[in-house]
Amino acid sequence: MYPYHNKIKQRIKNNELKAYEYVDEYKSISPCLLLHFTTEPKIRPIREHRLKEYEEIINKLTKK
C-alpha cells in the first residue's frame, strides 16, 4: 500500500507545499482540505478525520 500520508508529510518538509484550501467537496470527498504542491501530483486531498493533524502541521509552518 502506498504510504499516502507519510509521503505528503515528507513533501511538506521538503518545502513543496505552495498553498492549501478547504473545499466542500472534491471528487466525492466531503469536506476536504486540498494541499497544492509545486511538484506532481500537484493536488492531494485530505479527508475530514485527518484535518486536525494537517492543521497542526500547517500552523507550525506559518509560525516560522
Give the integer Cα–Cα distance in Å for 25 and 61: 25
Crossing angle between the packed helical segments 51-63 and 4-13, to the nearest 10 degrees: 10
Q: How confident is the model at residue 16 (pLDDT cuts 50, 70, 90)?
A: very high
Q: What is the pLDDT of residue 64?
A: 64
Per-residue pLDDT of 18-53, as tens digits, reads: 999 999 999 999 999 999 999 999 999 999 999 999
What is the value of pTM for the model shown? Answer: 0.88
Q: Is 1 a residue whose pLDDT tops 80? A: no
Q: How confident is the model at residue 62 (pLDDT cuts 50, 70, 90)?
A: confident
